[in-house]
Chains A and B, each alone.
Chain A
Amino acid sequence: MTNGKRVLLIEDEPNIIEAVRFILSRDGWHVATHSQGSDAVDAVRAKAPDLVILDVMLPDRSGYDILADLRADDATRALPVMVLTARGQQKDREAALSLGATRFMVKPFANADLLNAVRDMAAGLQTGD
């Protein structure tokens, strides 16, 4: 059941990148990764993924800033973005959703939940088309 969709993972922890890549690849996703915050927006524009998984605590730029930039740009305004963060407090969730995050997920996560969330986002994308 490969759907050929592309997901861009913006994350700086190598082990987490590997885990997410494995989980989504097995489901038929094409996973691209990017581990710097400063040029993450450019990477999104360049790679034009179907959806983005975005870490918040990046070394040189906050994930929230990246999200805000994405939402400010017409090209990426509607792009589904899942914020995946180790900061799981309510205020973090609210901050992410108010900035326009499509989904909010806290680390550590159940693999199945991550997969389902990504599928839902993809489905929403299809309905939206």
Chain B
Amino acid sequence: MTFNMLILGSLAYVALLFAVAFWAERRAMRGRAGWLRGPVIYTLSLSIYCTAWTFYGAVGSAARNGLEFVAIYSGPTLVLVGWWVLLRKLVRIGRAQRITSIADLISSRYGKSPFLGGLVTLLAVVGITPYIALQLQSITLSFAAFSGRGPEDVNDIALLSAIGLAVFTIVFGTRNLDVNERHSGIVTAIALEALVKLVALLAVGAFVVWGVAGGPAATYAMIEASPIADWQMQPARWLGVTFLSAAAFLCLPRMFQVLVVENSDERHLATASWAFPLYLFAMSLFVVPIAVAGLTYLPAGSNPDLFVLTVPLSRGQDELAMLAFLGGFSSATSMVIVAAIALATMISNHIVVPLWLSLGRGQGATMSGDVRHLIIGARRAAIVGLLALGYVYFRTSGGGAFLASIGLISFCGIAQVVPALLGGIFWRGATRVGAGAGLTLGFAIWAWTLFLPSVGDGTVLGAQIMADGPFGVGWLRPQALFGIDGIDPLLHTLVWSMAFNTAAFLAGSLLSRASPLERVQGAAMVNVFRHAAGPRGASSAPVEAEDLLLMAQRILGAREAQRLFQSAASAQGKLGYLPDVTPDFVEMLERQLAGSVGAATAHAMVGQITGGAILSVEQLMRVADETAQIMEYSARLEAQSDELTRTARQLRDANDKLTRLSIQKDAFLSQISHELRTPMTSIRAFSEILRDGADMAPDQRARFSGVIHDEARRLTRLLDDLLDLGVLEAGQVSLRLDAVTLGDVIDRAVASAGELTRLEIRRDRARERVRIETDPDRLSQVFINLIGNAVKYCDADRPVLTIRVRPSGQGWDVDFSDNGSGVPRAQQDMIFEKFARAGDTDAAGGAGLGLAICREIMARLGGDIAYLPGQSGAAFRVHVPTRLGASSGKAAAE
């Protein structure tokens, strides 16, 4: 078979893959995925676990190490058969939380930690890149073996393969940003490749057993005669590899992609849990016969990693060899494609986007066109970059390492995720700090003791370091940590890295506190099954309807909820209050509740009961938001109602005050009317008498004129007082402040009080010599009033008014006391009211406003005036502040 034929065959096969992928993609887009999304395709897609390493390498491994390759298969089988509960939990979590990758799972579990997401992504890229290189190498080697040329001559093949794989992956892996990150085309193509692999290996195996050895019995004899029969099991390494393969099955990004992300139905796992181990069994069935045949019939020194290809070739079975070649090609390409998609998703979501966001470019834009372009661009670039990196690694490492050892190095690196993963989904106490510490430490030990030494002898770590440790520190020697020497390097790394990783994870988790988001996520993941018993509507137990009714009653109120449920039940043709819990009813109920508590909360509450929904963190946060909004709203209502109550009280108070004022005003007007009408009555009566009476004695006429004149003056005084009081009460009075001696003010008042024919005034002028700052006119007005009152009301035979000044507080008390009978006790309280006139009005002649005016004036002057009870006669005390505003608390009376 010519080299060109080989290329042509490969290209045809690739074209077929493109066609299948296109076809599946179009069916899926039309919504007719059908069996393409069924359990068979799902199980076959898991076969990307079997890469070129397993296709070619298992035989190589068997030829070198006997049955150790079985451990590579036993790990996944153990997980699928023995621990499929774990897988179901992973798938449930992945679907509930819309997990896109293993990095996303770790990041989500530990409070959406960008650091952990980035760390796992980095770990995966570093661990998987050699693995991609391994696939390119296997393609190249198989090309070389097939064509009979040297490996150096076909390096272009590796480049071409890398380019071709990049194109295929970009076309089908990054066409759109699916919410579920599912890729129907690729999964279908991979399933096809899985069949090709299996058929090819079985065909070669059958050829070996029946075509080369001559039947099962002969084959058995051949095996007995080979070195494999002498193989001794190394229990530690066997256990280690089993553990690694189990871990890889769970944690490898490509496995997580097909196992969790591409899973469309949890029930497919049930099929896969028996079908995939069967697939693995079939894949391993003929490994030993092929290896033994290669060892027996091929020349010594032949590469056992290529026995699958070279055994048929040596027998001239070109068509069979071509099938084997395509099987190997399928193994390599399917792994590279899915790994590239998974890693590209991780790189774009956990490295590029966080960086972009932290640079402040993404403010406000969430999944808008901008970000979509960014993510798709980043994924395409990542795919190209990963394949380029793989190619470079392949060219620089020079293919010196055995294929299988690269695979196990990769497994060991990715196994570092196991503590954080298992701890995260089974232990609520796991924290971000613990996960970060464990991952970092495990990753560092793996890189130092296994990965870096593997990158070609002396290329990264010099022979010096390998032998003596860095800077001569012996216990840090990469393959003899802590001075423990002579262990298998893989086991050495596995034990140390997992021990430190797990210890750091546990210690970090126990010593740190989880953030609220972490705790929510932890609970959601650890208890993922507690929330959900089955798909919505599958069970319609009456208990559930009753639960829904109880909940609805709390939100809508008993009557409204019962009405709702009853009408729903009667719509279903049922009596009573409990309808069947159909999806329609649940949806209707959610809508009703959403009106009261918000859509997210309603969905969450109904989901809790029907078990159909698992809450994502975003939903929980929305629930919290809604609750906060409702609380804020009710707080606002409460405040409003408080304010209304306050306003109502104020209105009532104001109304009371107005009513009081109105009554006062009526009384005042009535008083004014009376006070005005009284002098007017005399004036009118006497003026009519004078007008009508011509026959009047002159002295009588003069006397009546005098009455009219007095009453007119009385009216004038009354009006003046009213106006004065009005001005004072309105506070519009302007004071003319001046510094004066108190005695001078009293002098002025005594002088203007008129002729004191009968009243004797006694003063102590020495005490009156105090300086005050006040309005002297207004103060003397008060004094005049008091002196006038004494003149009017003092009923002693020899009336005497004593004026005495004494200091008081920050001012002076001026007492006016006479020797009359004083104000009767009953009237003492009201003498300062308007129109309150003590005793007989005959003598008073005033309007009854004098003391009211005095009180107003003293309030304006910062002092006050009060009646002094318990004196021998009428006594008033006027308090005058030294300066306006100096008196404490007595200013602004009323």
Contacts and interface: CB of A to CB of B under 8 A. Distances in A.
State whether these chains interact. yes
A86 B689 contact: no
B448 interface: no
A19 B682 contact: yes
A111 B684 CA distance: 8
B842 A14 contact: yes
Interface string A20-43: 101100000000000100000000
A46 to B, nearest CB: 22
B842 A108 contact: no
Given A109-B684, A111-B689, A111-B692, A86 B673 contact: yes
A124 interface: no
Contact of B680 (A12, A14, A108, A112): A108
B370 interface: no
A112 B685 CA distance: 10
Given A15-B679, A111-B689, 16 more contacts: A12-B840, A13-B678, A16-B678, A16-B682, A16-B685, A18-B707, A19-B681, A19-B682, A19-B707, A88-B673, A88-B677, A107-B677, A107-B680, A109-B681, A109-B684, A110-B684
Interface in A67-99: 86-89
Nearest to B837: A59
B343 to A, nearest CB: 101
Q: Across chains A and B, which 3 residue pairs bring their CB atoms closest together, nearest first?
A: A19-B685, A86-B677, A15-B682
Interface in B804-844: 839-842
27 contacts: A12-B841, A14-B842, A15-B710, A15-B711, A16-B681, A19-B682, A19-B685, A19-B689, A20-B685, A22-B689, A59-B840, A59-B841, A86-B673, A86-B678, A86-B681, A87-B673, A88-B673, A89-B670, A106-B677, A107-B680, A108-B681, A108-B683, A108-B684, A109-B684, A110-B688, A111-B689, A111-B692
Interface size class of B (residues with CB under 8 A): 20 to 34
Contacts of A117: none
A12 B841 CA distance: 8
Interface of A: 12-16, 18-20, 22-23, 35, 57, 59, 86-89, 106-112
Given A57-B674, A111-B685, A15 B707 contact: yes
A112 B688 CA distance: 9
Nearest to B686: A19
A89 B841 CA distance: 23
A107 B678 contact: yes
B678 A23 contact: no
A14 B682 CA distance: 9
B3 to A, nearest CB: 130
Residue of B678, B684, B839 with most partner-chain A CB within 10 A:
B678
Contact of B685 (A87, A88, A109): A109
Interface string B676-703: 0111111111101100100000000000
Contacts of A14: 842
A108 B840 contact: no
B838 to A, nearest CB: 10
Contacts of B711: 15
A11 to B, nearest CB: 10
A64 to B, nearest CB: 14
A116 to B, nearest CB: 13
Contacts of B681: 13, 16, 19, 86, 107-109
B50 to A, nearest CB: 113
Nearest to A22: B689
Interface in B636-689: 670, 673-674, 677-686, 688-689
Contacts of B689: 19, 22-23, 111
A57 B688 CA distance: 24
A79 to B, nearest CB: 24
Nearest to A36: B840
Contacts of B842: 12, 14, 35
A18 B707 CA distance: 10
A60 B767 CA distance: 41
- B680, B710, B842 pick with most chain A CB within 10 angstroms: B842
- Residue of A12, A22, A57, A107 with highest tally of chain B CB at under 10 A: A107
A18 B840 CA distance: 17
Nearest to B675: A86
A19 B707 CA distance: 10
A48 B678 CA distance: 27
B823 to A, nearest CB: 14
A108 B678 CA distance: 7
